Amino acid sequence: MRLLVLAGDGIGPEITAATQAVLRAASGRFDLQLHMEEAAVGHAGLRAHGSTIHTDIVERAREADGIVLGPTSTFEFKDPARGEINPSMMLRKSLDLFANIRPARTYAGFPLRSGEFDLVVVRENTEGFYADRNMEVGSGEVLVTKDVAISLRRITRACSERIARTAFELAMTRRKRVTIVHKANVLKVTDGLFIEACHKVAQEYPAVTVDDVIVDAMMAHAVRNPQRFDVIVTTNMYGDILSDLTAELSGSLGLAASLNAGAEHGMAQAAHGSAPDIAGKNTANPLSLILSGAMLLAWYGRRNKANSFEVAAAAIEKAVEAAIAAKQSTADIGGRLSTRETGEAIAARLRA
């Protein structure tokens, strides 16, 4: 398996290095023959190539078997004409990574905010309110005058149906329950279309129980009773916000794993940002990207009928679980180790 590794900005290089250590250990134990190639994105790419993500990198990503993307300083990239482009957006859009799969589960070893739970947010990744990806040309945001701004939201039946199908297929491997999250009481046309598409797909999966919840109420339900939920399917912005909430309820945003998947390509990506305030301090939690890497291996294994990759992914997840319980992790989840040491501890468990 050939991986393109893009470390990014802020804490990105630190958590990416820890993730690579874990992936190398998994490759050695399970004979995965992983080959990792690195390229500069974010500020490093801007300095080296005049762009936060060079077009050559997109082509290399297209040719790779998978991508590992560290967090980048997206908020600082304001002018595409000067090469300031959101690398995550560019890869998601160019490779049509339409499904953003974000699991959230609790682990033994530290106090739980809302009790034990295990759920997955399945987020549509290519349209919605996200102005940098919902138009073929230009942006979905318009500054009409200096005092008037307009943002357009795109919801399509095709994109709604394919993300719904991803959610239902996932639910069939879990507890067979899908919750549709929306705001159709206000956004009657767009979210109405989304709900309609989801229920149409649901007819193909009669074994799955389906309900729907308005997004603001969903935030309260997720805090009060996350155990109620199994697979949650929703549009882009709702999913982005909800998955951060459920990750924090599980213990920390540092546990927020994320897989961006399309028909042909997959990308592991930490769900959190670049955290410049702690960059270079070797204190960032690398588990989000490590767990994302495990998701990428499992995706590749299923797609290529290569069971060793799915076994390796499960082993990484078990090693993470054991490390958290033993407090072999960073301080945000009750551990005593640095970023590097956390990666080394998990890699050591895989080699044992």
Cα–Cα dist 124/160, whole Å: 7
Task: Point out which residues pair with 135 in neighbouring strands.
Answer: none
Instruction: Give catalytic residues, as residue numbers.
Output: 130, 183, 216, 240, 244
Give the Cα separation of 84 and 95 in Å (integer).
19
> Angle at which helices 190-202 and 157-171 pack, to 10 degrees?
40
DSSP secondary structure string, 160-227?
HHHHHHHHHHHHTTTTSEEEEEE-TTTSTTHHHHHHHHHHHHHTT-TTSEEEEEEHHHHHHHHHH-GG
d(CA 48, CA 70): 18
The answer to whether 97 touches 265, Cβ cutoff 8 Å, is: yes
